Structure formats: C-alpha cells, structure tokens
Amino acid sequence: MALLLGLGIGAESVWAADPVAIVDALKTNAGNPKGARASFAKGQCVRGNYTPSTDAASVTKSASFTKPGMVLARFSVGGGNPKVLDTNKAVLRGFSMKLGEGKNSTDILFENAPVHFAKSTDQMLGFLKARAPGPDGKPDADKVKAFSAENPETLNQAHFVASKPMPGSFAGVTYWGVHAFPATNSKGQKRFIKFKVVPVDGDVNLTEEEAKTKPEDFLFQDIKARLAAGGIKLQVLALLDQPGDPTMDVTVRWPDEDNRPAVALGTVTITALSENQPCDDSIFVPGNLAAGIGEPPDEIFAARKAAYPVSLARRKSE
C-alpha cells in the first residue's frame, strides 16, 4: 500500500475498492460524460441467431449453447468516452451477447484481448487512480510509471493490444471472454473453459496508413455495410483447461493457450441492426449464466457482476 499512498491514493481509497468506487474512477477518467456506460460507452446494438455445433454438449449442458436461439448483442469500443474515435488503436474492441431467452439465457462479455488489466479490485482501483486526469486534463506520467513498475502485470493487456494491427472491422476481430468458466457437460463432467469468438471470414486488419484514411466512426459504418450485404458470422469456441492452469488471475494467459485444444460450440450470425434501446435500457449481466456454465472464481468477475448494475443505475439517473 505504501506505493499507492506515495501516488496520492489514500488508504481509504485503496481499501474501498467497492463497485461504486470503481465505477466512479472509470467515469472520472473518461471525463464524466452524462448518461454513458462506465466502460465500452460507444456501441451499437444488433440482433441475430445462434446455431449450436454437434460437439457443444461435450463441453456444457447449458441450453444457451446446445440449443438454437435468438441473439441480442452489442459491438463496442472501449473506455467511458462515447465519442472515442474508432481509429484509436489503444482502446479495446468489445462484443457482448445474450444467447437464448428466460432461464435458458446466458450473457457473455468479450474483448479483443485475452487478459484483463488487473487481477484484484484493489489493483484495478489503483490502476484507475494512477491514471486519473490532473488539472491539465491529463494523467500524471510519473504516477502511471510508478504504479506500472510496481504492478507490471497491469500492462499485459496494453502490450497485447499494441502488438496487434488496427482492427478494420468488428466482424474481423478475435474476442476473448478473459475469465475461466466452470462448465458441466451432458455427462456431468466438469472442467474450466475460456470462451473465444473468432470471425468466420477471418481477421480484418488495417495498416497504419490505411487507418489514417478512415473516418472516426468507420467501425460502425462497416457493420451497416456488412449487414446490408448479408450478415456477420462469428464462431464461438471453448478453450479447454489443463492441470495447473491459472483460473484466479485474469492478467495472465493459460500456458500455450493459442495452441491447445478448443471445441467449437456454435455459430452466431448477426443479421440486423437494432435500436440501441434494448441494450441501453438494461445490461449484459455477467452473472446471468444458464445451468451448465458456472461463475468464474476470480475476483474481477465478482467485481464486474456487482459494478454493472451500479453503472446502469448511475447512467439512468443522469
């Protein structure tokens, strides 16, 4: 805690890393835009359907993944600024979806990085506090550097995003669920899985020169064009655990994660734009998981589950 105190982050803040404090910090860093999500504020609601694979039941008995169903989803750009430029490579791209309806529905949140930027709520709040804007509207570079030096794993996400090309389409991005979900299959067997979503038609990337020619909302224009041309297909995969995999720390990947066995659970086909109201009037609830998929055991998942309703209530009251 000494380092955080040295950064001007008081003990009362560090140990008050509750959902309200985290949402407040996210909003502060984004400039407190009214009526906006605390994170992934810029987005577009879409609709479609899900078709399961014949192998889905070998991983989970969840009706969300083993039965055909309707899909409500949202493509988004990371951060709490609803006016963030689509050409900002440093921010995440997001994909949230609700599969199925009623008791058979499941909400999963994805982003174009396989790790989160903090492994605990205290670390998450410290990360955000270190990057809080000063009187000039910019974070204190020395505070950021000091916090990063003490918490190097908080840079894993940024380093991953920086190592990849600029995404050229929401439909051409690989997304990860980040958390390790306990899954129970049709035979009652249990294991941890990680969700991954891959574009059926392959990744779409831009060079730096190509990115410079794009308008500030080119990702959202691209969605409309692709849907008008026939739709967007994304394959949902389950990465299978192995003994010793870290299931509590979302800042690190599973060993050799990109080369281990994965099971195709099914295909999401996005067929139409939706008014944003269905996505904005509620939230994709991290804890909404149909039987057969359990809640991840890590601290960040619990924090998300608690913080999302706080963010919803705050933007509805603004």
The CA distance from 308 to 318, in Å, is 16
β-sheet bridge partners, residue 95: 75, 110
The CA distance from 240 to 232, in Å, is 26
CA-CA-CA-CA torsion sign (244, 250, 255, 257): positive
Residue type for position 249: D
Check the annotation: does 308 bind a ligand. yes
* Cβ pair 52, 265 in contact under 8 A: yes
Q: Three-class SS of residue 2? A: helix
Report the b/e string of 219-233 with b at 16+ CB within 10 A: bbebbeebbeeeebb
The CA distance from 260 to 239, in Å, is 7
Closest alpha carbon to 152 in 251, 230, 235, 220:
251
The CA distance from 58 to 270, in Å, is 25
Q: Which residues, at least 6 apart from 173, have a Cβ–Cβ distance to it below 8 Å?
A: 93, 95, 112, 167, 199, 203, 204
Closest alpha carbon to 74 in 105, 47, 104:
47
Which two three-digit tokens encode residue 219?
């990702």
Q: Which residues are annotated as a binding site for heme?
A: 308
Q: Which residues are annotated as a binding site?
A: 308
